[in-house]
Amino acid sequence: MCIRNVIIASLLLAVMVISGCEATKRTINQINAFPVSDDIKLGLQVSQEIASKPAEYPVLPEQSNQEVYRYVKGIRDKILSTGQIKHRSAFKWELKIIDDDKTLNAFVTPGGYIYIYTGLIKFLDSEDELAGVLGHEIAHADRRHATRQMTKNGAIGMLGQAVLGNKNAVGQVLGSLVGLKFSRASEEEADEYSVNYLCRTSYNAAGAAGFFVKLQGKGGAPPQFLSTHPSSGNRIVDIKTKAKNLGCRGSKRNVLEYSKIKAKL
């Protein structure tokens, strides 16, 4: 993650980590000082910043990878069509794959620009697992976690500058999105909504748990970006419990189709 203003970024990070520790399911910040239109503007600024840094964010060209894009966007569209996405038509929901096999990550900007790394696609084993991750990212954008959290953290001035296109501020917002510095409460809510979305598809609704199950199977410490998050074990239990409580019936995993797509990367 590239941050130009290290001091301000460190302060911002410290505030976010602290808020992450204090947050619980009940205390997620509902107040948002920004109108929805600012999420959209901010997303556009951040997506332009990403496009201007191909060395750091090598986007997989869509033209020469049409089948892979069609497949991943098809999963996204199933989630967007569940009737559960409040900002379905207002947000962009643009999806780009970042060609970086070493990075296990996915992130979303405010306003719904979704980025998923080839490293994560290759790490997962089935379509429902990827659907779970996409549902999680879509929830972060649709629930407006970034602007809500920055409202709570008092980063309104900085975010306001980013909305207006201040390069330094845009870079900082991007850095915190890539570094997955959402609060614990936001992460729990994104997991919960992922189940809620998938429950209205034919997929196994607990698909998002697959990522954490695989991480545990790998042994060792979780990647650094997960270290301030709720523990993998808790998240697996929470996701599966939610799917059970909602009475989700879907069971589709599409392991074979998924492996064919992975082979194209």
Which residues contribute to the site for Zn ion (CB under 5 A)? Answer: 187, 190
Contact present, 159 and 169 (Cβ < 8 Å):
yes
Active site residues: 137
Instruction: Give the residue with the Cβ less far from Zn ion, 130 or 254.
Output: 130
Of the candidates 207, 233, 206, which has an alpha carbon nearest to the alpha carbon of residue 222? 233
**Shortest spacing between CB 55 and Zn ion, in angstroms:** 25
**Shortest spacing between CB 112 and Zn ion, in angstroms:** 14
Instruction: Give the residue with the Cβ less far from Zn ion, 38 or 187.
Output: 187
Instruction: Give the residue with the Cβ less far from Zn ion, 105 or 172.
Output: 105
Contact present, 65 and 85 (Cβ < 8 Å):
no
Number of other residues whose CB lies within 10 A of the CB of residue 231 = 13
**Shortest spacing between CB 195 and Zn ion, in angstroms:** 14
* Three-state SS at 223: coil
Instruction: Give the residue with the Cβ less far from Zn ion, 129 or 187.
Output: 187
117 φ/ψ angles, rounded to the nearest 5 degrees: -85, 145
DSSP states along 160-216:
HHHHTT-HHHHHHHHHHHHTT---HHHHHHHHHHHHHHHTTSSB-TTTTHHHHHHHH
Contact present, 195 and 110 (Cβ < 8 Å):
no
As given in the structure block, the two tokens for residue 1 are: 């993650």
**4 CB-near residues (< 8 Å, 6+ apart):** 168, 171, 172
**Shortest spacing between CB 165 and Zn ion, in angstroms:** 26
**Shortest spacing between CB 256 and Zn ion, in angstroms:** 28
Instruction: Give the residue with the Cβ less far from Zn ion, 190 or 206.
Output: 190
Quote the DSSP letter at residue 128: H
